[in-house]
Chains A and B, each alone.
Chain A
């Protein structure tokens, strides 16, 4: 089950249902309604997810409780609070389903075992961490060097269709602008 989804998510690994039996067997599916906390700040993240469908936001709270969105997950992407999952420490972040969501998930013990069972996962780990790091650096550069309008334009060029369906306040927070600014930029563009 989930063979195509996992093969796509774990590219460039060449996953094979016969050779990687344990890998394909360690996932189970879970569904969440809209606006459900999948992981809460203060709890330990127990799972690594791949999204079948739906949009989720990862955010932390400012001192007065405002949401600061740091990323999204959506169809086909990885999801979860990765640092809490890896280090088994309480999460600083919330992971929330913004739309009804179906995900498959893997426990930490199974994740660790993959690297022992299959040496090729080390290569996957190297590549995926490079991509994560480069993505975060790129985002930091955009936040520090671009105007709100430039950040909006760049984001809209690469924004997946799925994110167009979520409340604007989450996109505005991700782009570090007020919902009013986001709305004004959207109106100008349309």
Chain B
């Protein structure tokens, strides 16, 4: 079954992440930089990873939003194509659990020195992540008034998987939801 992407639902979920991030903002540096296990990321590293992943799509999404004509009828609900649908079903956490653990490509790995990272640097990461979430929301608000569905581009997974803007937004959002759950799990374990 293909995923039906609904723009209002995306906005609601992005707002939930923004509100959750504001809760993380209240935590101290120690909590945010502690790794639950030696091979697991700390919350701030997970945030760094989300920022990298978001920025991989930024240029392509903004370019295609710029190309698209305005839609008279709106673009409130979009059916995702087959391959993106599969990814969207795999990525978000289910019942508070991250499913289908996967290896991270090197270019998506955040590099922070956790021993020496300052409070202001941690706050900067949080602030940058918040900026990406507001940016993601602005893309959703833009595409719902545009004819963007036929304009496709290669995903960061590889050229076989091609996204249009609503699919790319949904993918970034599902990816974020997955990693917000990872932060909650890390904080629980710490």
- State whether these chains interact: yes
Beta-carbon contact of B18 and A42 below 8 Å: yes
Check A90/B19 contact, CB under 8 A, given A35-B74, A35-B145: yes
Which secondary structure dominates chain A's binding surface? Answer: loop
Tell me whether A43 is interfacial, beta carbon within 8 Å.
Answer: yes
Tell me whether A149 is interfacial, beta carbon within 8 Å.
Answer: no
In whole angstroms, how far apart are the Cα atoms of A96 and B145 in the complex? Answer: 13
Tell me whether B131 is interfacial, beta carbon within 8 Å.
Answer: no
Centre residue among B12, B74, B145 by max chain A CB count within 10 A: B12
Residue of B nearest to A66 (CB): B6
Tell me how many residue pairs across A and B have CB atoms closer than 8 Å.
Answer: 43
Beta-carbon contact of A42 and B15 below 8 Å: yes
Beta-carbon contact of B18 and A94 below 8 Å: no
Identify B15's interface contact among A35, A40, A66, CB under 8 A: A40
Q: How large is the interface on A (under 10, 10 to 19, 20 to 34, 35 or more residues)?
A: 10 to 19
List CB contacts (< 8 Å) of B46-90 with chain A: 74, 76
Tell me whether B185 is interfacial, beta carbon within 8 Å.
Answer: no
Tell me whether A10 is interfacial, beta carbon within 8 Å.
Answer: no
Tell me whether B141 is interfacial, beta carbon within 8 Å.
Answer: yes
In whole angstroms, how far apart are the Cα atoms of A59 and B11 in the complex? Answer: 13
Tell me whether A30 is interfacial, beta carbon within 8 Å.
Answer: no
Residue of A nearest to B16 (CB): A42
Beta-carbon contact of B8 and A61 below 8 Å: yes
Beta-carbon contact of B141 and A37 below 8 Å: yes
Residues of B within 8 A of A (CB): 4, 6, 8-9, 11-12, 15-16, 18-19, 74, 76, 141, 144-145
Residues of A within 8 A of B (CB): 33-37, 40-43, 59, 61, 64-67, 90, 94, 96
14 pairs of residues in contact across A and B, judged by CB atoms under 8 Å: A33-B145, A34-B74, A35-B144, A40-B11, A40-B15, A41-B15, A43-B15, A59-B8, A61-B12, A64-B9, A65-B8, A65-B12, A94-B8, A94-B12
Extra contacts besides A94-B8, A94-B11 (11): CB < 8 Å: A35-B76, A37-B8, A37-B141, A40-B15, A41-B11, A61-B9, A65-B8, A66-B6, A90-B15, A90-B19, A96-B8
